[in-house]
Structure 1
Amino acid sequence: MAEPIKTLVVTGYRSYEMGVFKEDDPKITVIKNVLKQRLKDYLEEGLEWLLIGGNLGVEIWAAQAAFELREEYPELRVGVIFPFLEYGNQWKENNQALLQKLKTQADFVEATSHKPYENPAQLRNHTRFLLEHSGGVLMVYDEEFPGKTQYFLKDAQHFGESFPYQIDKITMDDLQNASLEG
């Protein structure tokens, strides 16, 4: 049996990649319910920290799910590690408000680069930081729909060649099955 994961990164599709453009889209409820169930499994095994990068979509929904789980698991901590300073400042007002609320609810908020966006190296360094400071990743990802998450997956697979690292995926089939059950 593998070591229990104390710190888990959650990532996945951006909201636009899933065709979600409103906060009341029913897809969000399904995704959050599946995330909650998977997070509960990790919590039962000793999960202490959930880390996200702050992307709109799965990452923010995962943090929202974690905040809801705190009633049952008050020991759960949420860390938001942005890739660079001023992350999200160019977003629409409602998305900036969502990000601001996330920052106030999180237990830890930081950026891996203390400069505004300058180049892709900041994004690579951010991914490396998340991999080095976690025992695994839970990602909403399907091989048939690679999206931007494919880059994190490739880095995680490469990282896992040298270090023990667990990659756990929630696929489109998992989401479809959950929506049929719910």
Structure 2
Amino acid sequence: MLAHIAPARLPLAATIPDDVSVDAVLADLAADRVSAPAADIAGLRDVVVRAQEHGIDLSVVVLDRDPARPEQLRDLATEVGMVEGGTVLVLSPSAPGTYSDSISRVVLEGAQDHTYTGNPVQSANNFLDDITEPHLSWGLITALLVLVVVLVGGVSYVAKVRRGPSTPSVDSGDGDPGAGSSDERASVD
């Protein structure tokens, strides 16, 4: 009897929120790397300048409505980032989305967790603070651990070579392990 096989479910294709024009966002970003409501532009420009001081090419997009799915914010950030390059932060009233061609996804997602405050300028500042703080270099830590293991192995090898070849202990008796010397036999009796 054949087992029932569920139909394969394909992941949803990347989508941009319906009411957002990528071309309009890119046009807004062209002048100052900010696409946001007028009330937030000055504060977000300051965040972009501060990011540049840290060597980060940041673009910030603020939407006035939440998309149907939060993933659409990441999809929009990716679309913008593929054209503009650098790091893109997209904020909606209740969630962030990010893309970067220079910052790891792990760091971006960690920063996203601390980003949202409800205030786009404060959220962008939180994001920037998080991505610019020093992070552990797991590659460096791994390389150091490998080096320690190699050094310990090398020291162990050198110590073994200096001891010389291991030889089994030799019995000084007459070849019969149970015979022993006459003094030993007398003390047992």
Between Structure 1 and Structure 2, the one with more helix by share is 2
Normalised by the length of structure 2, the TM-score is 0.23
Larger RCO, structure (CA 8 Å, separation 6 or more): 1
